[in-house]
Amino acid sequence: MSERIVIIGAGQSGAQAVATLRSEGFAGAITLVGDEPYAPYQRPPLSKAYLMGTMERERLFLKPDAFYKEAHCELILGVAATKIDRAAKSVHLADGRALAYDKLLIATGSHVRKIRCPGADLAGVHYLRGIADVDALREAFTPGRKLAIVGGGYIGLEVAAVAAKRGIDVTVFEAMDRLMARAVSVPVSDFYLKVHQAAGVTVLLNTGVDAFEGNARLEAVRAAGKSHPADVSLVGIGIVPNEELAREAGLPCEDGIIVDASSATADPAIFAAGDCTRHIGREGVPLRLECVQNAIDQAKHAAMCMAGKPSTYREVPWFWSDQYDLKLQIAGLARPGDRVVVRGNPESRKFAVFHLRDGAVAAVEAINAAPEYLVGRKLIADGAKIAPERLSDTSIPMKTIAQ
């Protein structure tokens, strides 16, 4: 075959697309372009094991170097794509090269949302998105230092857990009235608040940051009219889809590149996958997902379509977070108005929260409760209707809950 596929974005989606294309029999040329100087690597461990120092850098990489050689995939790393010329079917790179394509996959991911306040450019104010970010943050992770975390979401709390274990004085500033408010239910938020406080973390809810203070280097964080001493700060207030290339090429975008059920864009030669996309979810609602599962599954569907084997993407989304000795696993998407059913006692540090919508299981949040998570995912996929009192009854094993 002489067909050429170019993939922009050397992340989880990019690596998965290469693997799926070859496993599905695509025999044409594949080129993978990434703006970081690394082959595709895992991002979730960055704020956990890699930051803690329990995972070596080599273990972050999704595939060994030999994989790309054996897959006959050309890697162009440390070079950004600057333009997509749809008329000429080419991708322009920052080093002046232009890559011709027959089909193109945009897997550009996302970038951190920057905080806008005085002092945000001071030395000592960090973000966490890539390997270099963690390497810089690790240098400041010494016992006794004061760490100010802006944002009580997954990233902020995972870093807080690592820092607390390291003997660092941690304060979390969260503008909303509870932790992980956009991602979890009230029972789970309340549980993690107690966990972090018990570990010595100071959590300030309903408290936005007004300014970072210091002379050239961070010395304090000003919030709610008070100055809080800080040696270093980690800002984790969300991510923004990298849709600029697609938008400038005239592809429809709306908080993400709009794709159909096969991960195809409005241009039949161009596909997109991962954090940078917006698709129609299982319930017919447009959404953008920021998770490994979506990055992998969308890339599989895009690759299959490019290989001439289109399929419909309707996977149950799943997410996870590791904090201290707790593994939070979430499947499905909760909504306001869902009926919330707690199974187990949060005091035991092992429980689950089920969300029922029109009587059917729509989402599950499981803390150190793998059976509830695994069975819950299947219940969601099946649209199973389970009585609330049955879900909450821990004397009924999860494996028989649907009987």
Q: Is 87 helix (H, G, I), strand (E, B) or coil?
A: coil
**What is the rounded average pLDDT of the residues 32-51?**
96
Strand partners, 173: 150, 204
- Is residue 218, in this structure, part of any structural domain at all? yes
Specify the pLDDT at position 283: 79
Please report which helix (H) or strand (E) contains residue 299, including its range: helix 292-306
pLDDT tens sequence across 196-223 = 999 999 999 999 999 999 999 999 999 9
pTM equals 0.95
CA-based torsion, 351, 336, 381, 276: positive or negative: negative
CA-based torsion, 272, 275, 281, 282: positive or negative: positive
**Which of 235, 254, 272 corresponds to the end of one domain?**
235
- Is residue 246, in this structure, part of any structural domain at all? yes
The distance from CA 40 to its chain's CA centroid, rounded to whole angstroms, is 15
Same domain, 134 and 195: yes
Cβ-based neighbours of 403, under 8 Å, separated by 6 or more:
none
**Which pLDDT band holds residue 310 (cuts at 50, 70, 90)?**
very high
pLDDT tens sequence across 257-299 = 999 999 999 999 999 999 999 999 887 889 999 999 999 999 9
DSSP category for residue 315:
P
Please report which helix (H) or strand (E) contains residue 70, including its range: helix 65-70
Specify the pLDDT at position 76: 98
- Rounded to the nearest integer, the mean pLDDT of the chain is 96
Same domain, 302 and 388: no
Same domain, 106 and 129: no
pLDDT tens sequence across 129-141 = 999 999 999 988 8
Is 135 in contact with 51 (CB distance < 8 Å)?
no
What's the CATH number where 387 sits?
Answer: 3.30.390.30
Is 222 in contact with 211 (CB distance < 8 Å)?
yes
pLDDT above 80: residue 387:
yes
Same domain, 104 and 132: no
**What is the rounded average pLDDT of the residues 325-339?**
96
Q: 88 phi and psi, to 5 degrees?
A: -90, -10
What's the CATH number where 143 sits?
Answer: 3.50.50.60
Specify the pLDDT at position 285: 85
The candidate with the shortest Cα–Cα distance to 274, out of 255, 260, 293, 261, is: 293
Same domain, 278 and 339: no
Q: What is the percent of the chain where pLDDT is above 70?
A: 100
pLDDT above 80: residue 1:
no
Domain range for residue 366?
A: 325-400
pLDDT above 80: residue 169:
yes
Same domain, 142 and 105: no
Specify the pLDDT at position 140: 85
Same domain, 144 and 214: yes
- Is residue 118, in this structure, part of any structural domain at all? no
Residue 142 CA to residue 73 CA, distance in Å, equals 41
Domain count, the chain: 3
Q: Is 147 helix (H, G, I), strand (E, B) or coil?
A: strand
- Is residue 209, in this structure, part of any structural domain at all? yes
Is 166 in contact with 173 (CB distance < 8 Å)?
no
**What is the rounded average pLDDT of the residues 157-163?**
98
pLDDT above 90: residue 149:
yes
**What is the rounded average pLDDT of the residues 331-348?**
96
**Which of 207, 235, 263 corresponds to the end of one domain?**
235
Cβ-based neighbours of 207, under 8 Å, separated by 6 or more:
173, 174, 175, 223, 224
Residue 22 CA to residue 17 CA, distance in Å, equals 9
**What is the rounded average pLDDT of the residues 184-192?**
98
- Is residue 285, in this structure, part of any structural domain at all? yes
- Is residue 320, in this structure, part of any structural domain at all? no
**What is the rounded average pLDDT of the residues 165-189?**
97
